[in-house]
């Protein structure tokens, strides 16, 4: 069984010390840097855009996992590829032509992910699962860091794991929102491959220690 990947969300980093925080992630047990892009339309918040992604990419030594919470993400696929993004995730709810969007992400040389809002049923991905590299299950309503984990997420992960097994698909399950040392083991047990953690890492006294704890979390 593969080890769980940890993707610290830089949304919770200290933007006045962004280089320092990116370098902390570089030196930690994290697998990826998670970048949250919000446009104030798809979600009620604006996070950061291309100049900040460029600054992060300059210092990051691990793959960039970009989570687009924006309308009409097709407009920016090539831009994120040019910035060096490894995996680009778009929201199911923002993509009326999801198949086309996924093919465009792959054609630009990136891995392709689809994110599901908490109310969006995993079964809606049945016909596209085999085209995906990752499904991001939102465990809070997207738009803000520091929210409480929604417990219904465990069942969604289990159902998705079952779909992946049935289709013999090669797709990672990523969970995002309210993730920390208290629920990591249970999420891994349910079938999560990648854990995104913002506040639990960056608001801690020992961010590297929290990342290490998450990376080695097991059901006791």
Where does this chain bind Zn ion (CB under 5 A)? 36, 67, 176
One of 4, 116, 196, 210 touching ligand DX5 (CB under 6 A): 196
Nearest to 126 by CA among 157, 169, 89, 90: 169
The residue range among 9-17, 71-79, 122-130, 152-160 that interacts with ligand DX5, by the rule CB under 6 A, is 9-17
Give phi and psi for 148, each to the nearest 5.
-80, 140
Q: Is 152 annotated for ligand binding?
A: no
- Give the position of tokens 């992630």: 25
Q: Is 49 annotated for ligand binding?
A: no
Whether the CB-CB separation of 6 and 192 falls below 8 Å is answered with: no
Under the binding rule (CB under 6 A), the answer on residue 199 touching ligand DX5 is yes
Closest CA to 122 of 185, 72, 175: 175
- Options 4, 6, 11, 210; binder of ligand DX5; rule CB under 6 A: 11
Determine which one of 36, 65, 133, 213 is catalytic.
36
Among 73, 177, 191, 207, binds ligand DX5 (CB under 6 A): 177
Measure the CA–CA gap between 92 and 113, rounded to whole angstroms.
Answer: 10
Q: How many positions of this chain bind ligand DX5 (CB under 6 A)? A: 21
Q: Determine if residue 109 is labeled as part of a ligand binding site.
A: no
User: What sign does the CA torsion over 158, 150, 195, 34 have?
Assistant: positive
Closest CB 145 distance from Zn ion, rounded Å = 9
3-state secondary structure string, 84-128? Answer: CCCEEEEEHHHCCCHHHHHHHHHHCCCEEEEEECCCCCHHHHCCC
Binding mask 100-139 for ligand DX5 (x = CB under 6 A): ----------------------------------------
Paired tokens of 91: 């929201």
C-alpha dist (Å) from residue 166 to 99, 157, 159, 169: 21, 14, 11, 8
Per the annotation, the verdict on 36 as an active-site residue is: yes
Q: Which residues are annotated as a binding site?
A: 9, 34, 36, 67, 143-146, 176-178, 198-199
Q: Which residues are annotated as a binding site for a divalent metal cation?
A: 34, 36, 67, 176
Residues that bind ligand DX5 (CB under 6 A): 9, 11-12, 34, 36, 67, 140, 142-143, 145-147, 176-179, 196-200
């Amino acid at each position: 069984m593969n080890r769980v990947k940890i993707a610290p969300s830089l949304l919770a980093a200290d933007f006045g010390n962004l280089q320092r925080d990116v370098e902390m992630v570089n030196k930690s047990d994290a697998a990826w840097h998670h970048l949250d892009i919000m446009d104030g339309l798809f979600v009620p918040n604006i996070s950061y855009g291309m100049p900040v992604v460029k600054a992060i990419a300059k210092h990051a030594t691990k793959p960039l996992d970009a989570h687009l919470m924006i309308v009409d993400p097709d407009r920016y696929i090539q831009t994120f590829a040019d910035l060096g993004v490894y995996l680009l995730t778009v929201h199911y709810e923002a993509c009326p032509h999801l198949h086309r969007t996924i093919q465009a992400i792959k054609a630009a040389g990136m891995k392709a992910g689809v994110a599901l809002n908490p109310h969006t049923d995993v079964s809606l991905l049945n016909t596209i699962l085999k085209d995906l590299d990752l499904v991001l299950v939102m465990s809070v309503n997207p738009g803000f860091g520091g929210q409480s984990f929604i417990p219904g997420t465990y069942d969604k992960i289990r159902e998705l794991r079952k779909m992946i097994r049935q289709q013999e698909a090669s797709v990672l399950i990523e969970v995002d929102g309210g993730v920390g040392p208290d629920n990591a083991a249970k999420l891994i047990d349910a079938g999560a491959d990648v854990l995104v953690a913002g506040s639990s890492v960056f608001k801690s006294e020992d961010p590297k220690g929290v990342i290490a704890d998450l990376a080695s979390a097991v059901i006791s």
